Amino acid sequence: MNYTEITASLIIMRCDMVLDTMGIKDSLEKFPLLKALVMRAGNKDFMEWALADDKLAGEEGLTEGADGGYAKILKLLNGETVLRSLLDLCIAVFEYPEAGAYLTYHFGHSVNLRLAFLLEGIPAPEEGEVLRLKELAENVFYFDTKEGPLLYSEVNADEKLMAFICGHDIINPLFSDITERFSSAGKDETKVIVNRGLIEEGTELFKSGGKAVQLSGKGGRRFLARRIAEGIGKDFLFINVRDFLHEAGKEGLALFRSALIREALLDHAGICFYGMDNSFLDKGRSVSDAEDSRSRDIELLERKLFLPIVDKGIELILCTDYKRSLMKSVSPGEFRNLRLPDNISYDERRSLWEDIIKDSGTHFDADELSRRYRLNASSIYKVMKSYLVSRCEGSKEDDNELFTRVCMEEIMEGRDTGLGRVVFPDITLKDVKIRDSLMRVLKNVVGSVRSSEVILDHWNLKKTYPYGRCVSLLISGPPGTGKTMTANAIAGELNLALYQVNLSNIVDKYIGETEKNLEKVFDYAERSNSVLFFDEADALFGTRSEVRDSKDRYANAEISYLLQRIEAYDGIVILATNIKGNIDPAFMRRIRYVVHFENPDEDMRREIWKNLLTEDVPHEDIDVDYLAAQFDDFTGSVIKTVFLNACAFATDNNEILAMKHLIYAVKHELEKSSAVGFSVDTLGKYAYLA
């Protein structure tokens, strides 16, 4: 017979002896399976059991396996004899359902504390002793306290407990599908590049007797939790709190919480809850009542779930987006809220990319990726994993297109994309035709962006400039002078995405909604490290008006919000306006670079025409000097429109581009824009082609 079988037979024999003293003879007569169990146990079995028991009593320790698990449980029960009898009763009932029927038949109930006291010769225990032993017993057993007083509450052993006794390493089936066990013995070779200080702080807190650590923010919280677990040499159970509460809703939180506590105590493990993001805490509530409701929910979580865990001496780690403390009842010396930085530095991003590129065997440029995407550590690993999976699945995209797509998908995850348009420009500053003095300013803008990581991180100017680090550019000038093209060219020069804001979707008639939309825009631009482009910016950044009614007050409040947001923004903003004077002076003080575009002169118009006549466009000899001199009010945008129409006219007639097609397109453009009748004389020496 094995250890649990002998234990079950012995406890049944003890019950039979108690019943005999009560005048009930041959109590096993109606229970043949139990009678056969008792009869099967021989002297040799009892001697082996007694030997194991002597070892336990002498604290010599037992071997791993059935008796090893039993010994560990007794230690959790502080070796209390009443609780040992309770354990033996639970083993008997779990292994032999007939034992439950036997106890109910003779004692009027199955396993409970009263029966355990009775077996130890204590028929009427004091209430204080019952409460003391019940608190200990909860470390191992589940008490069903819904019916009857505590002394008579049914006590059960679950599958986890029995598997532990038998030497089987399982997670409780109640939540095995939603729980991951992290072993601190299995060393993770992933290098710690960011937030090393947080790991050390969390580890030191637990080593000095702390109870709980909260990892607040985004980016690798579970990675940090695993490193803390390694630091204190303890296994941890990782559980998504959403899944845990969902499963507990079916059976009851008390049942699940007790089972989880027993799991951690039996396995000598800590517990890490994750999945507590803002959407979980807000649960779709409106902004007006979200904060109050969230506070109530957090208080309930602390009282019903977190505190019962730490009160049992189990180390607890909470991973959450929420920056405020989730545990206000624990003293600062026993609890630490460790806040992850909103952004990791350029050097940290580069080190992460270098490490993961090397491990993955890919050949991307770590410097370029670090500049282009302001991703946190967790997102960087997710991006590379998604890229490798897509590549293995046979994606038809080339490497750069595929990698760009998975990066943008990670950036856009859970974010509103209806407030702007993301483009990856394929033009650079060499494609922009402007005066040399203006080009120098644009190159200074690009240089400021490229050097920002050096001067802020390496030169440590972040301390000197805690805000106002935004690289901002205002481009003013008449329509068609190249403002939008220049914004695209700057993004292309930096190899960044351009996020062109859709102002019609930003401005909202409802109070406060415009600010919310702007916050989404800035949040996305910061995360993606996009060039943020406001075309016709005076619609948002216009001069504040005198307050005559509530509308003026709220409009000015929107501008004030924008001033603060630009001040705090750590990225690149380009504003375009037709009239510089329309921009609020307070914004002008915060703009680092300003350029004013005018209509191109003759030399510039000639360059624009020449730039369009590439080798890819089949054409006859084109009189570029004539086109540049004759039409002196054409902007760069108009020239491009005329050229495109001329090409369409030529191809429609199965011809290559010639002067007649350009003259036709010029004539059409002049007729379109002229308020009076069109004069052929305007076309000069090529008027005969019209």
Second-level CATH architecture of 602-689 = Orthogonal Bundle (1.10)
Q: What are 473's strand-pairing partners?
A: 574, 593
Q: Alpha helix locations (H) across 182-220?
A: 196-207
More confident residue, 238 or 370: 238
User: Which amino acid appears at position 468 of this protein?
Assistant: G
How confident is the model over 482-487, as a mean pLDDT? 91
More confident residue, 213 or 431: 213
| Burial tier of 21 (Cβ tally within 10 Å: 0-12, 13-18, 19+) | exposed
Q: Which of 426-430, 546-550, 554-558 has the lowest mean pLDDT?
A: 546-550
What pLDDT score was predicted for residue 540?
A: 72
3-class SS string, 59-120: CCCCCCCHHHHHHHHHHHCCCCHHHHHHHHHHHHHHHCHHHHHHHHHHHCCCCCHHHHHHHC
Residues 6+ positions from 506 with CB-CB distance below 8 Å: 419, 514, 517, 518, 521, 540
- Domain extent listing, the chain: 3-165, 176-339, 348-411, 429-596, 602-689
Rounded to whole angstroms, the Cα distance separating 255 from 264 reads 14
Instruction: Please say whether the beta carbons of 566 and 467 come within 8 A.
Output: no
* CA dihedral sign, ordered 371, 376, 377, 382: negative
Has residue 356 got a pLDDT over 60? Answer: yes
Residue among 400, 363, 409, 346 nearest 382 (CA): 409
Per CATH, 176-339 and 429-596 having the same topology is answered yes
Has residue 370 got a pLDDT over 60? Answer: yes
pLDDT tens track for 396-433: 788 888 888 888 778 766 555 577 788 888 889 998 88
Residues 6+ positions from 332 with CB-CB distance below 8 Å: none
Second-level CATH architecture of 176-339 = 3-Layer(aba) Sandwich (3.40)
pLDDT tens track for 71-124: 889 888 998 999 999 999 999 999 999 999 999 999 989 999 999 999 999 989
Rounded to whole angstroms, the Cα distance separating 17 from 13 reads 6
Instruction: Please say whether the beta carbons of 405 and 412 come within 8 A.
Output: no
Q: In what order do the strands lie in the sheet with 235-240?
A: 179-182, 235-240, 269-276, 316-320, 212-216, 335-339
How confident is the model over 662-690, as a mean pLDDT? 78
Has residue 497 got a pLDDT over 50? Answer: yes
Per-residue pLDDT band for 599 (boundaries 50, 70, 90) equals confident
Its CATH class, for the domain covering 429-596, is alpha beta
How confident is the model over 383-395, as a mean pLDDT? 87
